């Protein structure tokens, strides 16, 4: 009998972002996963792409393209908007980051490399974002889709509310 800590089919871990966790490890793991994915698929993980992912990973918070541009410029990567847009596009296309439509901003993926339908919990106070996963074929929308013969390929779930920290702040003020 072999013990595999987490096989490919194991359920994804729970939401990342709101709970206390080893954040340095979180950044290292995501960068290493991105590096491995690029090596495996012959993609170029250029310095600007790597830096953009690192910037997104700094905080579990969504970042707009212009904020990204500012930070890339501060890091010495030029100040032309396409620099930021192209890097973000690469990260999204390859599953290292997701676009949060509601905020028109980007967040690093909490489960890079795993194919998943992300669901986001967005704090309306501090813009922090926790990613969990949805099961698009299940639940009410899955039932409705089956009933109408619709095949769901992708769902976007963006829940708006208060994160534990901000909810606590409200309760104490
Ligand atoms: Zn983290
Ligand atoms: Zn994700
Ligand atoms: Zn908050």
Joined together, the tokens standing for residue 118 give: 């992300």
The ligand with the least distance to the CA atom of 59 is 1
Of 169 and 87, the one with more pLDDT: 87
Q: Where are the beta strands (DSSP E) in the chain?
A: 97-100, 105-108, 117-123, 129-134, 157-161
Which one of the ligands is nearest to 108 CA?
2
| DSSP letters spanning 116-150 | -EEEEEEETTT-BEEEEEE-TTSHHHHHHHHHHT-
Ligand 1 (ion): residues with CB under 5 Å are: 23, 26
pLDDT at 16 (0 to 100): 60
How many residues are listed for the chain in this entry?
173
Distances (CA, A) of 19 to 9, 55, 88, 132, 137: 24, 20, 26, 12, 28
Would you say 147 and 127 are in contact if contact means Cβ atoms under 8 Å apart?
Answer: no
Q: Give 47-80 pLDDT, tens digit per residue.
A: 999 999 999 999 888 999 999 999 999 999 988 8
How far is it, in rounded angstroms, from Cα 79 to Cα 72? 8
pLDDT tens figures, 124-153: 998 889 988 777 677 788 889 999 999 888
**CATH code 3.20.20.70 for 23-172:** no
Residue 3 class from Cβ within 10 Å (0-12 exposed, 13-18 middle, 19+ buried)? exposed
Tell me which residues have their CB within 5 A of the ion that is ligand 3: 123, 125-126, 128, 163, 166
Q: Residues 75-127: pLDDT tens digits?
A: 999 888 899 999 999 999 998 999 998 889 999 987 776 677 888 999 999 88
Chain segment 12-54, per-residue pLDDT in tens: 444 566 777 888 888 898 899 999 999 999 999 999 999 999 9
For residue 161, what pLDDT is reported?
Answer: 94
Nearest ligand atom owner, CA of 134: 2
What was the pLDDT predicted at 5? 41
Domain residue ranges in the chain: 23-172
pLDDT at position 132: 86
Sorting pLDDT into bands at 50, 70 and 90, what band is 4? Answer: very low
């Amino acid at each position: 009998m072999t013990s595999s800590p987490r096989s490919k089919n194991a359920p994804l871990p729970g939401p990342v972002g709101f709970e206390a966790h080893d954040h340095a490890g979180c950044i290292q793991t995501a960068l290493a996963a991105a590096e491995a994915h690029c090596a495996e698929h012959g993609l170029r993980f250029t310095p600007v792409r790597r830096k953009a992912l690192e910037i997104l990973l700094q905080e579990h918070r969504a970042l707009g393209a212009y904020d990204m541009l500012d930070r890339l410029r501060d890091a010495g990567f030029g100040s032309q908007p396409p620099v930021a847009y192209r890097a973000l596009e690469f990260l999204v296309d390859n599953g290292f980051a997701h676009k949060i439509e509601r905020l028109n901003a980007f967040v690093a993926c909490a489960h890079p490399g795993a194919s998943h339908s992300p669901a986001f919990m967005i704090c309306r106070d501090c813009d922090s974002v926790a990613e969990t996963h949805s099961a698009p074929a299940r639940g009410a929308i899955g039932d409705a889709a089956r009933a109408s013969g619709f095949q769901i390929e992708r769902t976007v779930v963006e829940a708006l509310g208060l994160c534990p920290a901000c909810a606590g702040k409200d309760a104490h003020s």
